[in-house]
Amino acid sequence: MKSFIEYKEDSHFPIQNLPYGIFSSHENSKKRAGIAIGEFVLDLAQLEKEGLLNSNYFSNSTLNSFMSGGKKEWSNVRSQVQELLMDTNPTLRDNSILREKVFYKQLDVTMHIPANIGDYTDFYSSKNHATNVGAMFRDPENALLPNWLHLPVGYHGRSSSIVVSGTDIHRPNGQTMPLGSDNPVFGPCRLMDFELEMGCFVGTGNNLGEPISIENASEHLFGLVLVNDWSARDIQKWEYVPLGPFLAKNLATSISPWIIPFEALDEFRIENPIQENPTPLPYLQSNDKWTFDMKLEVQIKTEKMENPETICNSNYKYMYWNLAQQLAHHTITGCNMNPGDMFASGTISGEESDSYGSMLELAWKGTMPIQLSNGEKRKFIQDNDEIIMTGYAQGKGYRVGFGEVKGKILSAK
């Protein structure tokens, strides 16, 4: 499959991808839906206006109505857009006036949060990450808590502070308990961290009291984004017993602007990890492949650097609990999901030390500082450090990529 739009073989946005996002342009400040193709954004709202797209979703400022349309409608729209972009289709290829109306350079547009995210849940589903953290703070011989291998552990996050890539984040203030002290102190977080995660958007929801079965998960899951779930580790350490993260996580969660549909990722599905000891309960068992071979990378750019430097190379295949299991578990009580809700994977850590998805692990709780090539060292994120995450799945002669999610930590207010 080839498009008349030219792009390099390592482009994240070939015709095999076609992720959805919400953008505005200098010429038109109205937020509307687009699709990324090569270095361009294809204006879906304008395609509808021109009568070239048989749909009525994309003049909206969010993708929620499209998400609620269901799997058949998602596939139908994708097929229409792919057909319009094919190198054999003259409709856009040979009409320069029409192309001027519907294509924008990505560098010239502003990207926005792609959906009205009503609810956000964060899971804790990487066995390597959970084992590392358990070994640091508890008995290494019993790093995983008794429930971890039986269910996808999660907590409810804060959707109002989810921000799009490029948004700067102020270091949070909060309570921390200094070592050896009997009383907490108030001030800026000193142990600022990132978490490399994947976020999944819910498409069609479910009614209150009606769980989504694991077999039907694909009817409800819309697509994926990259997630940086910023974490204030010292605030978290003091607050998380007995109810878990609160202020340590609600400061901000950054996401990449383009949502990759699952149809674009079907080729990259691989066998799920073996879950035999123990075997999950029946409602969490499925033979469908919900694990993906997707390379993930984290870079840091300090004030003294001209170019960012890679500090983590990981892969989504290291997840233990998969998306369908997370959704089935989330709704087994009858909890109702809505179009545009998002849940995140939890930190994705691989098996090797350079594949750990957080500074907490990479610098091992600050005991093994990361050595950067310019001579600087990092235990945790300092003010004006920028964190950049990217990822892609490698096909034969093309990539299906996420672009990037980036954010800079500014000083506390």
* Mean of per-residue pLDDT scores for the chain: 97
Residues of the chain with CATH 2.30.30.230: 20-112
> CATH 3.90.850.10 region(s) of the chain?
120-410
Cα distance between residue 173 and residue 247, in whole Å: 9
The whole-angstrom separation of Cα 52 and Cα 25 is 21
Residue 256 has pLDDT above 90, yes or no: yes
Average pLDDT of 226-238?
97
Strand 386-394 to strand 295-301: parallel, antiparallel, or no bridges (unpaired)? antiparallel
**Residue 68 in this model has a pLDDT that exceeds 90:** yes
Q: What are phi and psi of 56, to 5 degrees?
A: -150, 55
For the residues of 18-53, what is the DSSP string, one character each?
A: --EEEEEESS--S-EEEEEETTEEEEHHHHHHTT-S
- Residue 139: predicted pLDDT: 86
pLDDT tens figures, 37-67: 999 999 999 999 999 999 999 999 999 999 9
Angle at Cα 405 formed by Cα 408 and Cα 55, nearest 5°?
A: 140
Give the DSSP H/E element, type plus range, for residue 128.
Answer: helix 127-137
Residue with the two structure tokens 């990132």? 194
Q: Which residues are catalytic?
A: 129
H helices then E strands: how many in the chain? 10, 26
Architecture of domain 120-410: Alpha-Beta Complex (3.90)
pLDDT in tens, 134-192: 999 888 889 999 999 999 999 999 999 999 999 999 999 999 999 999 999 999 999 99
pLDDT in tens, 323-370: 999 999 999 999 999 999 999 999 999 999 999 999 999 999 999 999
Contact 191, 234 (CB under 8 A): yes
CATH superfamily label, 20-112: Fumarylacetoacetase, N-terminal domain (2.30.30.230)
Is the pLDDT confidence value at 258 over 90? yes
